[in-house]
């Protein structure tokens, strides 16, 4: 039977998993008249921007509240004592992360041609114009690099009360990968592997800073590639 502390940790994990907040904010966006898709059937940039930014704010508020409620320091739990050193490590790791992401997707598509289930990343389509690329870049850095790593670090920290952080690492990595299924099953595999890497990095270093920096770099490269592809199509 779970103890009171474990029940509390479980509730915090569920609330910070992204599902309750994103579902609630998606409903709010539609009530505000922000449609999730365009008339052509693609993703709506205003919808994606609103939900992503608002969900980032909601998650950060929840994490800070839950840590403070237990008398824990956000800096000690998530950032660690050597922020500048971890940021430099993130910069050093960024090229390897980008190479793994690009080559991993390419290799999977060569090995298993049927694995990609979408002709193009639907988020990438939003970055084909300069204004769209800038907006998607901001969303990718804030909702991707920042929010997802704060979320990962907090969830792994709380899994210390729920069967151990290794179990939490496996579960969060699988869910992280599946959260990108809209981008294709090749993206699920690559992002799941990267999620595991960033989770191990947090557990080994006691800081999310290096993961934030390298994750943000990978997202920025994805946006730049999508923009370049869009310009190539327009210019052809």
Report pLDDT digits (tens) over 26-51: 999 999 999 998 888 888 999 999 99
In this predicted structure, the answer to whether residue 175 has a pLDDT above a threshold of 60 is yes
- Domain count within the chain: 1
Per-chain mean pLDDT for the chain: 90
User: Are 67 and 74 spatial neighbours (Cβ–Cβ below 8 Å)?
Assistant: yes
Q: Contacts from 88-95 at CB under 8 Å and sequence distance 24+?
A: 89/205, 89/209, 89/210, 89/213, 90/209, 90/210, 90/211, 90/212, 90/213, 90/214, 90/217, 91/213, 91/214, 91/217, 93/201, 93/210, 93/213, 93/214, 94/213, 94/214, 94/217, 94/218
In this predicted structure, the answer to whether residue 236 has a pLDDT above a threshold of 70 is no
Report the C-alpha dihedral over residues 194, 199, 204, 209, rounded to 10 degrees: 90
Report the C-alpha dihedral over residues 69, 70, 71, 72, rounded to 10 degrees: -110
pLDDT at 54: 96
Report pLDDT digits (tens) over 53-89: 999 999 999 999 999 999 999 999 999 999 999 999 9
In this predicted structure, the answer to whether residue 232 has a pLDDT above a threshold of 70 is no
Residue 174 lies in domain: 4-235
140 vs 49: CA distance, rounded Å: 10
Tell me which residue has tokens 């940039």.
45
| Between 41 and 21, residue with greater pLDDT | 21
**In terms of Cα–Cα distance, which of 91, 219, 197, 76 is closest to 147?**
219
């Amino acid at each position: 039977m779970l103890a009171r502390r474990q029940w509390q940790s479980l509730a915090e994990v569920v609330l910070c998993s992204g599902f309750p907040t994103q579902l609630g904010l998606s409903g709010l966006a539609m009530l505000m008249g922000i449609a999730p898709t365009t008339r052509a059937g693609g993703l709506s940039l205003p919808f994606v921007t609103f939900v992503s930014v608002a969900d980032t704010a909601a998650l950060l508020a929840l994490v800070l509240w839950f840590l403070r409620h237990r008398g824990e320091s956000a800096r000690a739990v998530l950032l660690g004592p050597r922020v500048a050193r971890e940021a430099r490590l993130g910069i050093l790791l960024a090229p390897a992360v980008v190479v793994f992401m690009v080559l991993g997707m390419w290799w999977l598509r060569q090995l298993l041609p049927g694995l990609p289930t979408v002709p193009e990343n639907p988020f990438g389509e939003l970055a084909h114009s300069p204004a769209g690329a800038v907006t998607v870049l901001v969303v990718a850095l804030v909702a991707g690099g920042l929010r997802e790593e704060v979320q990962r670090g907090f969830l792994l920290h709380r899994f210390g009360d729920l069967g151990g952080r290794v179990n939490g690492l496996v579960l969060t990595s699988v869910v992280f990968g599946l959260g990108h299924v809209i981008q294709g099953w090749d993206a699920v595999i690559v992002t799941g592997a990267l999620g595991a890497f960033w989770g191990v990095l947090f557990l080994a270093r006691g800081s999310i800073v290096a993961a934030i920096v390298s994750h943000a770099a990978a997202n920025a490269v994805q946006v730049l590639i999508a923009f370049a592809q869009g310009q190539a199509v327009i210019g052809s």
